[in-house]
Each structure stands twice: as structure tokens, then as C-alpha cells.
Structure 1
Amino acid sequence: MTAIYPSSYYAASANQQPDRPSLSSSISADVCVIGAGYTGLSTALHLAERGFSVVVLEASRIGFGASGRNGGQIVHSYSRDMDFIERHYGQKTANAMGKMAFEGGRIIRRLVDQYHIQCDLKDGGIFAACNQKQLHELEAKKALWEQHGHQQLDMLDAHQVREYVGTERYEGALLDHSGGHIHPLNLALGEATAIESLGGQIFEDSPVVDIQQGPKAVVKTANGQVTANFVMVAGNAYLTGLLPKLQQKAMPCGTQVITTAPLSPELQHQLLPKDHCVEDCNYLLDYFRLSGDGRLIYGGGVTYGAREPDKVEALIRPKMLKTFPMLKDVKIDYAWTGNFLLTLMRLPQFGRIGDNIYYAQGYSGHGVTSTHLAGELIASAIQGQAERFDVMASLPQYPFPGGRLMRIPYTAMGAFYYDMRDKLGI
């Protein structure tokens, strides 16, 4: 084993795992999955449950990318909601995607329960409004989600929200009782163990160097290969050089997270009395929650083009103190960054290459639940029930304007514009 996890609270508190080998021989399987993040793991697990033989090839370690470094929040729907989808792609598509928008969270809970995954699963999520405009938008979100069948929602006024979040920043909130939060890396590791319990094979330190298309695809690594009836490409922001046409459709972005030292039970209760997770409604949003051992995990901001910030703590600590000034003397134990994949329309990209190579990528910041939905849809498509996969695959996939050189400045300018709107409350 040569690859190691980047330093983070999640890596430091990960559940113990066996060493997994790199691929060093020629093997065969029904399906070869490239990437052991949530998309790949969910796909492999759903396929293994259906009786398929599955091999997962991971370039580094299980959950190495966004799946093991994200904010750990179970947030429903997509980065663009069903009203946007209806305006751009029609009511039929919006209705079909609306029926799937809340499924990812249910899949996570089923897997955690069925396979006894220890990942600090806790219930309850808060969308917090920083101004009246955002509060009205949350009221519209509640009506929209209820229209699509999600009924576990309550509006909170400025007084009520303080029963959930110990800050004066918010003018109200939307409480999603079916939201929640998890230790994201431990969820990925638990899903990997579940795959292996069903006969699936996982190889780490096995970057794929080539995919040979054909009736049976051949997926090659430096020291081995997998011959498979189907291939699932799930590299997302870490798909480097393998399929350039996929990479042109999306842009890696970095987000930053810090974690405090363990807090006293009294301070934990002061910050988050109900132990729910929180995200605000700004375009460049803040998000935070308590860990299983009583730390505050706080994240926010975006670096376009996946640039590594020199000092994550210097970027995020002021955001945390704006929300919770009482933490000014609390030590920060961990700070890290990780990449997610942004698409131009901020909707995930699903598709096929030829007849037997599938891909899914570009969840644009809503990956925890959408990736788990993706695994179900792809497994069903491989099994021959492709209707729901085809709904997602029908969404247009546009490259960023200006090509690789211009997509970062264009997107950064857009982010600056929306950030100013957030600050002005317009």
C-alpha cells in the first residue's frame, strides 16, 4: 500500500480497514467499476446485491476524493432544483427527476442499517436564511418539495431557529426532518466492506491507464487488467487523463473544511442544541455540524480550478467566528481541502460511451445523496431497466465556454457576482 489519505479529521478517525491489494493479474467480472468514491461504491454494491460479479479499481484509497472529505451532510435534491429543471427541460423531466430527488438519503439509511455501517448517522438538517429574501426562497423550496412528495419539512421563524442554532445570524430556516449527517469516510469504508461481503473485489493503488472498448471491455492498470461485460466510470473530479471528453464537460473545484478540538457538552448544546447539521442559503455557502465525538466541523467557500489554498484555517475560521463568536479561543485541530466537480448547468452528468461503458459525474456540491441515487440507477440500467437512468442521461451536457483556459475565470467571475448579491441581500 503506497497511497495515503490526505490529512483530515475523517482520515484520523476512520474505522480500521484491512489492507487491500493493487491489481497485479488478469481477471474478469460482469462489471468493472473505476473509482471507489460514493458513485462507484453505490454502483458496485447495488450490482452485487443483484448477483453481478463486480471488480472495483481505485487509483488511491477508498473514499480518497470528495466522498471522504466532504461536509458529511445528507441534503436532498440536486444543485439545481425542480423548478429550474422544469423551466429549462420541461415538466415531464422535472416530474421524473422530482420522483428521484429524495431517494438518495433513503438509500444511505438503508445501507447503514442493513450492513451495520458505523458512521455516526444523525437525523435532521437545517437550511438557514441570512436575510428575508432567502427566507422567502426557503418558503418556495418547501412548497416545491412538497409538490414533489416530500412532506417532512417545517418553516422556522427567527425565534424558532435559535432553538436549533445558537447564533443571531439567521432570520429563519427550513427544517428537513429527513436530512441528517454522517462521517463520510466511514460511510464509504462501510460500503466497501459490504461489497466484499457479497463477493465483490476491490483493488486500491490501481489507477486505470486505458479502456479498450468492445463487446467485452478491457480495463488496464499498470500491472493487470479486468475483462468485463460492462464498465462504470466513476472518477469524477479525479478522472485525470483517462477520458478527456468527459473532463471537458466539467471543472474540478475545491472546498475547505476545518474541525475544532472536542468541545464540552455544554458548548456543543449552545452551538447546536438538537445536533442537526446546518447550511446557509448563500451561493458560496457555509455548512457546519457536530462530529460524533463532539467537535464542530465547519466548511465553506470555493476555489475554482481546484487550487489548493495555502491556509485553509485562515479562510474558514473567520466564517466560523462570524457564526459562533464564542469559539474565538477554541483550537482548530484539522484543516483540509478536497475537490468536487462542477458542471456548467450545475446538474449531474449521466451517460453511456458505446453500448457498455457508463459514467456519472458532476454533482456540483450535492454529491452525498445524488451519488447514492446514481448507483441505483446505473445498476438498474445494466440489469436492463434503464428508464430512470435515461431521464438523467437526457440532460444536455455543455462544455464550459472558452475551453479549459477560460472556464476558471468565467466561473470565478460568476461566483464573485453571486457572492456580492449574497452580501447585499439582493
Structure 2
Amino acid sequence: MSVPSHIDSYYAASANDKKVRPKLEGEHRCDVCVVGAGFTGISTALSLAERGKRVVVLEGTRIGFGASGRNGGQIVNSFNRDIDYITRTYGEDIGQKMGKMAFAGSELIRERIEKYNIDCDLKHGNVFAACNKKQFEDLKSKKALWEAHGHNELELLSASSIQDHIGSDRYAGGLLDRKGGHIQPLNLVLGQAQALESLGGIIFEDSKAIRIEQGKPAKVVTEHGVVVADTVVVAGNAYLLGLIPEVEKKAMPCGTQMVATEVLSEELQKQLLPTGYCVEDCNYLLDYFRLSGDGRLIYGGGTSYGAREPGKIEQLIVPKMLKTFPYLKGVKIDFEWTGNFLLTLLRMPQVGCIGDNLFYAQGYSGHGVTNSHLMGVILADAIEGDRERYDVFASMPQYPFPGGRMLRVPYTAIGASYYIMRDKLGI
């Protein structure tokens, strides 16, 4: 019998926990059944287990199989839409409440790593790199905005001082966020999964949910078993695959691509990223990069709308890498992979409840590492009866992409082309 596996990525190759969890068979009873063992699902389950709840997690393939085990590994604060946009769009009250949550995800990640002694190559600090003067002015505004909401560990970087952190003359300046950072994401989710199991939580792999029967209690049905639960949380994000169509139509899977080089010499590592901070640029379709724990450059970028798998990732990403670091020409690429994240029309996370006891959360639109961890605690709070933070997210409108499944990809690609042109023109 074949065992499902992670994709062939650097993260899978360097995973600390290669244990395969059993497949669900027969009937299990619990307080909460969580569908999806990525950051959202495991964070929710762990938060509930810490409060004494009996939790079962169903994963269709392997823990962290989707975006949680494939992403750039960057701890980036706030949301895809920043606090100023949220305030203008949804009002001062919502803006203030979102501002209080904008930096909570990164704090939670660090707390979990320390509390459960998770080995995931945590490094502190990230740099937002401006590719032109317009982007640099925007970073000045971001600094003022975040400081107004209590974040005081920021430093503006000039075109010369950013080279103290990035060995490239490509950038017009930047913003250093010392509350940001980076991790090996698959090891982070695996470490939290082990913490969940230590508290009595149960995780079944290779156990795709094929049907949810709503009611009190609800039933989550797989090919070989069923979980009966008082509450269900669906945390499949870009990998729902038809389980709840009314939720799935509200967002669009998008693919992003990464490569990891061979292990680089210490001298070359210091030349690339002297301070070890991770970096993302400020373009609409951004590039992002960092050093791994064993000294590889992990470089990602590009977006394929509709989660299409690019045929040759190396040919797509390496030219981007060489534009930033021309002196890496000839460096060997050891790994290349792609993963899907979920984009929403308003670029805000979507949170809700169908009926009384079927919760869902999805659509972090590129800010999933921090937002998904926070969302797990918010969902656990809501299940326990504290809906204050949940209601902030749930109050925001959730629109389906226009044109349905057939037209949402071309419509979004047209919109992206407009912003790509703006990036190129520096406006």
C-alpha cells in the first residue's frame, strides 16, 4: 500500500519528524474535528487541546502538505491589506481592533517555539526592500503606521545602509522589522503537531474528508471512517477540493515557486545576507529570499493564477535570483518546488460559521504564516464562546470571484498585469 508523501522540497528533505500517522478507520468521537493539518488546523487544534478539549485532526495527505510546508518561511507582520486600508474601508473601530491583532501572529509563533522547544531554525528580523523611490516612500508611511499601532522595533534603511543587510545594489532603500523573522515552516507545523499529540490530540493522515454531515453532533466522513464531533473546523485553505463549494468559490488558489541552492560557503552567505535577515521586495508580484539553517539560499517569486503548476521552476526563478545576486551565476540548484496559497477578492482572510457548529478560515492572501497561527487561537476562542476577535473578521464581506471558476483566473491575471506595469514604471 502506497503512503502519501510530501512534495520533493528542501523542507521535506530536512524535516525533523518523518513519522507517518495512521489512517482513520472506524468511528471516533471528539469535541472538535479539524479538517486540515496545516498552520490553521494545527494551531486551532493545539489551542483547543491546551484548554482540555478532545481534538481529532484529519489530513488528506501529510501534516503540512500544502502551503504550510512549502512557503517562503518568512514571519511577516500585519495583513495583505494594511491597517490604514482596513480603517478606510471598514471604519475606525474595525481598524483599531485589527491593529491590535496585526503583530500578534509573530508573537504567538515565538511563544510556541519556546514553550514546546520546537527546532525550526528560527531567526529574527526581516527586511522589506524597495525597488524604486515610490516604494521607499510607501515604506516610510508603513513605519509611521505601524508605530502608531504600537510597533516600535522598526528601522528605515537608505539605499546605502540596506547593503549592510543585502549584498545587492538593486534596492532604493528598505524597512527593517525586528519583530519579523524566518523559520523552516514544515518543521514549525510538525513541531506543533507533536505538541498537540503530547496533549492527547489525535492526527490521522491519508484521511481525506469527503463529506460533512451537519447537525448536532456533526459527522466528518472519510473513505474508511467517520469522526463524530460537537464542532467541526475546516482549515483546508487552497486544498479544500470541493468539500464545501460555497466556501471554495469565495477564493482562488494561486501558485508560487521556490528554489534552494546547494549549501553555500560561509563567506558567500555573509556576502549575500550579512545579518541573516530574510527579505521580500515591495513589488506586486514580489521576490522573497533568505538563508536556510544549513546555509542555502532559498529564493522564491512569481505567481501562477489558478494554481497552475509551472513546468520548469528553475528557469522561472533563477533569472530573478541572478538579477538580485549576479555573482551567484553557476551556483547549483538542489531543490525546486511550488505550492498553492489562497487569494481572496478583498485580500482579507475569510472567517465564518455555517450553521451553529461548522467553522472555516481561509484566504490569507500571502500572509499565511502569521495570520494562520493567530486564526487558530481566534477560532478556539470562538468555539469556547469568546467571539470578540472572531466577529471582527467575520463582519467583513466575503465576495466570490466574478465569473466563477472559468473567469476568475483571467480576470485576476488582467488585474495583476496592471500592477506589474506600475512596478516597472515605479508609480
Shorter-chain TM-score range: over 0.9
Overall identity of the aligned pairs, in %: 65
Structure 1-normalised TM-score? 0.99
Aligned counterpart, 2:254: 253
Q: Which AA in structure 1 matches 2:48?
A: L
For these two proteins, the number of residue pairs brought into alignment is: 426
Inter-partner Cα distance in structure 2 for 1:245 and 1:259: 37
Inter-partner Cα distance in structure 2 for 1:10 and 1:109: 19
Please tell me whether the aligned partners of residues 17 and 189 of structure 1 are also in contact (alpha carbons under 8 angstroms).
Answer: no
Q: Which AA in structure 2 matches 1:411?
A: T
Inter-partner Cα distance in structure 1 for 2:54 and 2:76: 31
Q: Which AA in structure 2 matches 1:164?
A: H
Aligned counterpart, 2:327: 326
Q: Which AA in structure 2 matches 1:85?
A: I
Aligned counterpart, 1:286: 287
Q: How many Å apart are 1:16 and its aligned residue?
A: 2.9
Aligned counterpart, 2:7: 6
Inter-partner Cα distance in structure 2 for 1:355 and 1:390: 14
Q: How many Å apart are 1:18 and its aligned residue?
A: 2.4
Inter-partner Cα distance in structure 2 for 1:215 and 1:86: 38
Structure 2-normalised TM-score? 0.99
Inter-partner Cα distance in structure 1 for 2:153 and 2:10: 31
Inter-partner Cα distance in structure 1 for 2:100 and 2:13: 37
Aligned counterpart, 1:138: 139
Please tell me whether the aligned partners of residues 256 and 300 of structure 1 are also in contact (alpha carbons under 8 angstroms).
Answer: yes
Q: Which AA in structure 1 matches 2:320?
A: K
Aligned counterpart, 1:300: 301
- 1:94 and 2:95 aligned: yes
Deviations 1:166-193 (A, max 9, x none): 0000111000011000000000110100
Pairing of 1:137-176 with structure 2 (within 5 A): 137-176=138-177
Inter-partner Cα distance in structure 1 for 2:112 and 2:155: 27
Aligned counterpart, 2:268: 267
Aligned counterpart, 1:240: 241
Q: How many Å apart are 1:149 and its aligned residue?
A: 1.2
Aligned counterpart, 1:31: 32
- 1:228 and 2:229 aligned: yes
- 1:376 and 2:380 aligned: no
Runs in 1 of length 4+ with deviation above 3 angstroms?
none
Q: How many Å apart are 1:17 and its aligned residue?
A: 3.3
Pairing of 1:52-91 with structure 2 (within 5 A): 52-91=53-92
Q: How many Å apart are 1:19 and its aligned residue?
A: 2.2
- 1:188 and 2:189 aligned: yes
Inter-partner Cα distance in structure 2 for 1:54 and 1:86: 36
Q: How many Å apart are 1:251 and its aligned residue?
A: 0.3
Aligned counterpart, 1:209: 210
Inter-partner Cα distance in structure 2 for 1:329 and 1:307: 28
Q: How many Å apart are 1:403 and its aligned residue?
A: 1.3
Aligned counterpart, 1:362: 363
Please tell me whether the aligned partners of residues 17 and 187 of structure 2 are also in contact (alpha carbons under 8 angstroms).
Answer: no
Inter-partner Cα distance in structure 2 for 1:102 and 1:16: 29
- RMSD over aligned CA atoms reads 0.7
Q: How many Å apart are 1:25 and its aligned residue?
A: 1.3
Aligned counterpart, 1:393: 394
Q: Which AA in structure 2 matches 1:353?
A: I
Please tell me whether the aligned partners of residues 257 and 299 of structure 1 are also in contact (alpha carbons under 8 angstroms).
Answer: yes
SS of corresponding position for 1:241 = coil
Aligned counterpart, 2:420: 419
SS of corresponding position for 2:84 = helix
Deviations 1:80-127 (A, max 9, x none): 001111111111111111100100001100111010111000001000
Inter-partner Cα distance in structure 1 for 2:248 and 2:390: 21
Deviations 1:238-291 (A, max 9, x none): 001110011100000000000100000000000000000000000000000000
Inter-partner Cα distance in structure 2 for 1:417 and 1:91: 30
Inter-partner Cα distance in structure 1 for 2:152 and 2:215: 46
Inter-partner Cα distance in structure 2 for 1:2 and 1:18: 11
Q: Which AA in structure 1 matches 2:272?
A: L
Gaps of 5+ in 1: none
Deviations 1:276-316 (A, max 9, x none): 00000000000000000000000001000000000000000
Q: How many Å apart are 1:151 and its aligned residue?
A: 1.1
Please tell me whether the aligned partners of residues 58 and 203 of structure 1 are also in contact (alpha carbons under 8 angstroms).
Answer: yes
Aligned counterpart, 1:200: 201
Q: Which has the larger displacement, 14-23 or 381-390? A: 14-23
Inter-partner Cα distance in structure 2 for 1:165 and 1:171: 12
SS of corresponding position for 1:418 = helix
Gaps of 5+ in 2: none
Please tell me whether the aligned partners of residues 54 and 200 of structure 1 are also in contact (alpha carbons under 8 angstroms).
Answer: yes
SS of corresponding position for 1:158 = coil
Please tell me whether the aligned partners of residues 255 and 338 of structure 1 are also in contact (alpha carbons under 8 angstroms).
Answer: yes
SS of corresponding position for 1:300 = strand
SS of corresponding position for 1:232 = strand
